[in-house]
Amino acid sequence: METIINKFFSKKVFISFLLLFSALNSSLLSQTKHPVPENFGNERVAEFYPIGWSKSANFAYMVLEHQPFVGSFWTLVIQNTKSDKILYNLMFDGDGGAKDISNPQKEWSYIYRKTKRYLDKYKIEPQREFYKFKDISTRSGYEYRISYRKISGVADMSYGRSEEIVGFRVKVSDDYGSKTITKDYRNYGGVFVDNISFFGAIESPFEDRIVVITSFEVYDYQGDAGGTALAIAGCKLNTGFK
């Protein structure tokens, strides 16, 4: 009888150990597969956390968005870099079951739990290293150049109508050709924009494709600064940028 009891408890302990090991192993694998993202940006200008790419040109990232009259909120975005269409986004503002967050690195485990099924749905594969192009600009000596065309228009202000920069287009060029890779980027809820500049570019690990990241200041209806916004546009890196 004692032998049977000992065998029973030994088996129970073994099963408990196996379940605990599986849970720990699963947790470790999850952490390994989905590492905590790093800030690509400059906190003095804007914060931008790239998460990963899919083989079909989908790109996932987190950005701190500034909205006039509303405030600043972290948003996770999945964007197709061929069409620039937003496939999914979740704003962490306390609405829709998502709590406010202050730092994506410190609160990544919560963010990941909330968005895992969408990262899986769009086949996002996290990268531990991003090929950064922070120094590409309109200067010569690089494989390609980024330039901006500002769009002027009449802005409806609280104190009257005024001619301002209301948007911009992004053009990529090299010695063989050029391409405007965006439609008009407008004021993102404000009235006009200013200080349009190249923020950086990140290359896909699966193909010769980048996202071009542009920073710009947004101004509201009273002409007050609403913060720095980021615009993300995809571009194929081949002859003619098709």
What are the pLDDT digits (tens) for 102-111? 888 899 999 9
CA distance 144 to 153: 29
Question: 220 vs 197, which has greater pLDDT?
Answer: 197
- Strands 125-126 and 131-132 come out as unpaired
What is the value of pTM for the model shown? 0.77
Question: Would the pLDDT of 92 be above 70?
Answer: yes
Share of the chain above pLDDT 70, in %: 64
pLDDT tens for each residue of 161-184: 567 777 888 888 877 777 888 766
Amino acid at 186: R
C-alpha 167/C-alpha 144 separation (Å) is 23
E strand spans, the chain: 48-53, 58-67, 71-80, 86-92, 125-126, 131-132, 145-157, 160-174, 177-180, 192-203, 209-219, 225-236
Residue 234 or residue 164, greater confidence:
234
- Contact predicate 199/213, CB 8 Å: yes
Structure-token match 């709590």, residue found: 99
- 216 vs 228: CA distance, rounded Å: 6
Q: Which of 65, 114, 73 is nearest to 232 (CA)?
A: 65
Which tokens go with 182?
Answer: 């965006």
In the structure, what pLDDT confidence band is assigned to residue 216 with cuts at 50, 70 and 90? confident
Q: What pLDDT, on the 0 to 100 scale, is given for residue 161?
A: 59
* Mean pLDDT score, 54-82: 86
DSSP 188: T
Residue 122: is its pLDDT beyond 90?
A: yes
Q: CA geometry: angle at 34 spanning 42 and 73, to 5°?
A: 45
Cα–Cα distance measured from residue 81 to residue 234, given in angstroms and rounded to the nearest whole number: 4
pLDDT of 197 strictly over 70: yes
Mean of the pLDDT values across residues 197-204?
86
What is the predicted pLDDT for the residue at 151? 83
Q: Any idea which of 15-29, 45-59, 148-162 has the lowest mean pLDDT? A: 15-29
Q: What is the pLDDT of residue 29?
A: 43
Query: Which 8-state DSSP code applies to residue 40?
Result: -
Specify the pLDDT at position 9.
Answer: 45
Buried b (16+ CB within 10 A) or exposed e, 77-115: bbbbbeebeebbebbbbeeeebeebeebeebbeebbebb
Q: Which of 64-68, 128-132, 147-151, 160-164 is the least confident region?
A: 128-132
Q: Which of 206, 64, 199, 25 is nearest to 124 (CA)?
A: 206
pLDDT (average), residues 221-238: 80
What pLDDT is recorded for position 31?
47
Amino acid 75: pLDDT: 92
Q: Across the chain, what does the average pLDDT equal?
A: 75
Work out the average pLDDT over 209-214.
88
Instruction: Give the span between the Cα atoms of 7 and 38, in whole angstroms.
Output: 50
How far, in Å, are 48, 68, 115, 239 from residue 89 at the CA level?
Answer: 15, 19, 9, 32
